[in-house]
Amino acid sequence: MNWSSLGPAAVFFGAIFTNNILLTNYLGMCSFLAISREVKSSVGLGAAVVFVMGMTNALNWPIQYYILVPLGLEYLGFIVYIIVIAGSVQLVEMLVERVSESLYQNLGIFLPLITVNCAVFGAVLFMFIRKYTFLGSLAYGLGGGLGWALAIVAMAGLRAKMTRARVPRGLEGAGIALIIAGIMSLAFIGFSGMIPAA
């Protein structure tokens, strides 16, 4: 199963920098654009996503390779992955509620919305397409989540600074956020030499 010369460590760092799931694969934009106004809630949401991604990848991998494939049921994969993601999100919701009531209130609807976050679902799909090993998939889940969190926190910081800038009215909100994302995406391309060609 291990076609790749990339070990889990390389997958991990790659997922954060060189193929950042948000800046390179464009996944997870909706909540990204909405929540990234405040650094504090961005950090909280980012942490939740890291957890969910790691957990769903770790769970979906054995389900796919030990249950779905042997039974020839891969075509039902999407449904199974969604259910696993929904379960993980429920778990994380309960955790967050216990640990920090204020964060729970702050995040509001965005916590259950992680269920339909394209980044989480995308991470599952990509890990199967790229045929990562179990450790690679776990690394990709955690790294992907961290990459997403990194992008969202950086964006929040930038937008906080920009509240004093004179943004043209037509660009306020989503427009300027997208331009910032575009520039960040360009900047992250600079990381692409980090993972040496095998």
Partner 1 sequence: MSKRIMIIVFTVLVTVVFVSPISLVYLITKPTVELNEQVFLKRSVLYAAGLSVPRVPAQIAELFDTRVEEKSGRPGTPPYYLVKGQDGQPAGYVLLRSGPGLWGEITAAVGFDAGLEKLTGVDFLKQNETPGLGARIGESWFREQFRGKRGPFTTVGEGEPAAENQFDAITGATLTSNFVKDLLNAAVGQVGDLVN
Partner 2 sequence: MADISAPVAGAPAVRPARPRGKAYKAFMDGVGANNPVFVQVLGICSTLAVTNVLTNTVVMCLGLVWATAMSNVSVSILRKWIPPRARMIVETLIIAVWVIIVDIVLRAYLPDISRTLGPYVGLIITNCIVMGRTEAFGLSNPPGLAFIDGVSAGLGYSYVLLIIAVIRELLGSGSLAGVKILGGWWTNWSIFVMPSGAFFLLASFIWVVKGVILKEQKK
Task: Name the site residues for partner 2 (rule: CB under 8 A).
Answer: 23-30, 33, 75-76, 78-79, 82-83, 86, 112, 115-118, 120-122, 125-126, 129, 168-171, 173-176, 178-179, 181-183, 185-186, 189
Q: Which is nearer to partner 2, 7 or 78 (CB)?
A: 78
User: Which of partner 2, partner 1, none does residue 116 bind (CB under 5 to 8 Å by kind)?
Assistant: partner 2
Residue 157 CB, nearest approach to partner 1 (Å): 28
Nearer to partner 2, 23 or 50 (CB): 23
Q: Note whether 151 and 39 are within 8 A (CB).
A: no
Q: Based on CB atoms, which residue is closest to partner 1, 100 or 192? A: 192
What type of residue sits at position 25?
N
Q: Contact positions toward partner 1, by CB under 8 A? A: 3-6, 19, 75-76, 79, 83, 129-131, 192, 197-198
Alpha-carbon distances of 190 from 61, 90, 183, 187, rounded to whole Å? 31, 37, 11, 6
CB of 45 to partner 1, least distance (A): 25
Task: Pick the closer one to partner 1 by CB: 83 or 94.
Answer: 83
Furthest CA-CA distance within the chain:
59
